[in-house]
Structure 1
Amino acid sequence: VGYLAFGSEATNAHLRTAFSQGMQDLGWLEGRNVEYRFVYANGDVHRLDALASELIGQQVSVILVGSGQSAHAAQQATKTLPIVLAGVGNAVGVGLVASLAKPGGNITGFTAQQDEVLGKLIGILHEISPGARRIAILLNESNPLYAAYWAGAQSACAALGLVSLRVVASTPAQLDAAVEQMVRQRAQAIVVTSDGMYFTERAKLQELMQTTRLPVAYALRDHVVAGGLLSYGYDIAANYRNAAKYVDRILKGAKPAELPIEQATKFDLLINLKTAKALGITIPQSLLLRADDVIQ
């Protein structure tokens, strides 16, 4: 079983563990009846194509991917080898599969309507800082959902009477300049979209965001564990654990084209009270009651 990771070994360790645990629960034991080949792009989108070819060369039976960028690289590399998605955003919209019920090709697994969830995330941020009118939206142009994220953010902000500011960072080297741009544009709050590179660089990103002293909302919970203020999105580790069910069925002879794609239905609201206190923000009680998890 191959795993094409957009991130690094360190930033993806808990996802690898979640997947291996899911496999173990289904009777697949590493070194006994299954072997794993893990390859990491370390957040560099240009390395993915070569890594996908490397996995195919190692004659893996199935490739697991967890980001839109990894999924596209795997799709470009093979039209026959099964590919399992561990929660890639909007699989139909970005052209990975024909439909959820009948994927039709060599790709199946989990998807999440990340572009739709973004609107809710902006609404939650607005509840926490109703006075913030200028909202910076951090986007990665190499993400297949880039256009959908920006369109979704614009309409969500417009509905609330807010101004959306487009800020692009597509490589780790561009993060510093992106944060400087937010400050220059007088942003009053920030939204970080769901992206593999931001996930990989979450420690550095958190340090940069802290310098702005602004409330920041994230699509992924891992950013909040790293010290961010709040997140609303699906639990990635749970999707990796559940992806094992697809890999199990494929290893037992099932065809990806005939395995319907599941949509992530559980979205968690995570709030970091320690960060809120440091920023001098009081979280409304109504929101705390809705939170699935609160970091003290």
Structure 2
Amino acid sequence: MRLNSIFKSALMSTLLVSSALQAKPAYVATTAIVEHPALDAVRDGIKQTLNDNGYSGDNLKFTYESAQGKPDIASQIARKMVGENPDIIVAIATPSAQAAVTATKTIPVVFSAVTDPLAAKLVPSLEKPGGNVTGLSDMANIKEHFSLIKEFVPSLKVIGVPYNPGEANSVSMLNSAKDVAKEMGIKIVEAAAPKSSDVMIAAKQLVGKADAIYCPIDNTIISAVESVIKVGIDAQVPVFAGDTSTVERGAIAAVGYNYFDLGKQTGDIVIRILKGEKPGSIDVKMAKGTDLYVNPKMAKRMGIEVPKSVLEKATKIIK
């Protein structure tokens, strides 16, 4: 009888522990290098996918922290998150991803909105990268971007590119832009902006040197893009962008990803890991889908008109 009682007691304890484990919410700790509409949309898309897959309310602990554009703060956030031992760390944009990958070799890390994961040394390979890291790249089609600019400015000879030389993502994109420009017979003039406060100065350096300004998917530039747009209006130099959310903030046009959808694609990877897959066995994904956003009002303010051919194929016209 006593053995039977002990067995029942042990079974009950096991069931209680099992029930407690099942009730434990999934803990997804999310961080981004800076807050701006594109990166915020990635975060929101990730959370939407989690919710759509049953992770919400008491079933999910979802935290978010911004590094306010500062890599040293990104490192502090990453170390803090590692100390909290979440199920997954989601790092949005290259500097935050680098900080997370440096901070842990055991907790799964999923990166998003990273242009060149190899150049940033986040993974050794895009196919089954091994270790605890995988994610999604938003490598842009620079040739498509420059072809769009040329539709607006047929006489285009020189494109000005403000960028942050301290961000691997930005350097990689600038190098790609130079290769594409050479192929298209266009010259690139660059202007460095290591901090958000330098962005207006960099934009002004391009006045008189460039036929158009192209704002790449650079977190420093995008976080202060209103400064570039002001320079474009004042100097009558058209400003284009590498992401569509910047068109809503005043750039003339962009062919780019819908970053909410990109977040949802990232969320799919997060779900796979929460369900038991190892990050190192999941290929790094490339973002899918592109939109064309146009802002006719800003085009006029910068001294040009939107070609009819562009208006006809626009996904969204900002009014």
Same-fold call, TM cutoff 0.5:
yes
Matched residues in 1 for 2:180 and 2:271: separation? Answer: 39
Say which SS state the counterpart of residue 145 (structure 1) adopts.
helix
Matched residues in 2 for 1:180 and 1:202: separation? Answer: 13
**Would the alpha carbon gap of residues 14 and 142 (structure 1) be closer, same or farther in structure 2, given more than 3 Å must change?**
same
- Cα shift at 1:204: 4.3
Amino acid aligned to 2:233? Q
Matched residues in 2 for 1:261 and 1:12: separation? Answer: 19
- Cα shift at 1:171: 0.6
**1:53 equivalent in structure 2:** 79
- Cα shift at 1:15: 3.7
Say which SS state the counterpart of residue 38 (structure 1) adopts.
strand
**1:263 equivalent in structure 2:** 286
Matched residues in 2 for 1:202 and 1:60: separation? Answer: 34
Matched residues in 1 for 2:237 and 2:162: separation? Answer: 14
**Would the alpha carbon gap of residues 279 and 200 (structure 1) be closer, same or farther in structure 2, given more than 3 Å must change?**
closer
Pairs within 5 Å for 1:19-34: 19-30=46-57, 32-34=58-60
Q: 1:199 aligns with which of 222, 239, 259?
A: 222
Say which SS state the counterpart of residue 260 (structure 2) adopts.
helix
In the alignment, is the contact (CA less than 8 A) between 2:39 and 2:113 conserved in 1? no
Matched residues in 2 for 1:249 and 1:98: separation? Answer: 21
Q: Mind listing any 5+ residue stretches in structure 2 that lack a counterpart?
A: 1-27
**1:35 equivalent in structure 2:** 61
Matched residues in 1 for 2:38 and 2:119: separation? Answer: 27
**Would the alpha carbon gap of residues 93 and 267 (structure 1) be closer, same or farther in structure 2, given more than 3 Å must change?**
farther
**Would the alpha carbon gap of residues 173 and 4 (structure 1) be closer, same or farther in structure 2, given more than 3 Å must change?**
same
- Determine whether 1:186 maps to 2:209: yes
The structure where helix makes up a greater share of residues is 2
Matched residues in 2 for 1:162 and 1:258: separation? Answer: 41
**1:134 equivalent in structure 2:** 158
**Would the alpha carbon gap of residues 132 and 177 (structure 1) be closer, same or farther in structure 2, given more than 3 Å must change?**
same
- Cα shift at 1:14: 4.0
- Determine whether 1:96 maps to 2:122: yes
- Determine whether 1:4 maps to 2:28: no
Matched residues in 2 for 1:135 and 1:11: separation? Answer: 23
Q: Deviation string for 1:163-209 (max 9, x for gaps)?
A: 210111121121121122112x5322101111222333344443344
Look at both structures and tell me which one has the larger radius of gyration over its CA atoms. Answer: 2
In the alignment, is the contact (CA less than 8 A) between 1:218 and 1:231 conserved in 2? yes
Q: Deviation string for 1:138-164 (max 9, x for gaps)?
A: 111122133332222223222333221
Q: 1:76 aligns with which of 93, 102, 114?
A: 102
**1:294 equivalent in structure 2:** 317
Matched residues in 1 for 2:276 and 2:256: separation? Answer: 33
Matched residues in 2 for 1:145 and 1:12: separation? Answer: 14
Amino acid aligned to 1:218? A
Pairwise CA RMSD: 2.1
**1:239 equivalent in structure 2:** 262
Bigger drift between 85-94 and 120-129 goes to 85-94
Amino acid aligned to 1:153? A
Q: Deviation string for 1:191-238 (max 9, x for gaps)?
A: 111122233334444334433321111111111011210112222111
Question: Greater relative contact order (Cα 8 A, min sep 6): structure 1 or 2?
Answer: 1
**Would the alpha carbon gap of residues 262 and 15 (structure 1) be closer, same or farther in structure 2, given more than 3 Å must change?**
closer
TM-score normalised by length of structure 1: 0.90
Q: Deviation string for 1:123-147 (max 9, x for gaps)?
A: 2111211223221111111221333
Give aligned-pair identity as a percent. 26
**1:160 equivalent in structure 2:** 184
- Cα shift at 1:9: 8.1
**Would the alpha carbon gap of residues 13 and 287 (structure 1) be closer, same or farther in structure 2, given more than 3 Å must change?**
closer
Q: Deviation string for 1:55-97 (max 9, x for gaps)?
A: 1112211111120111111111112111112232122343222
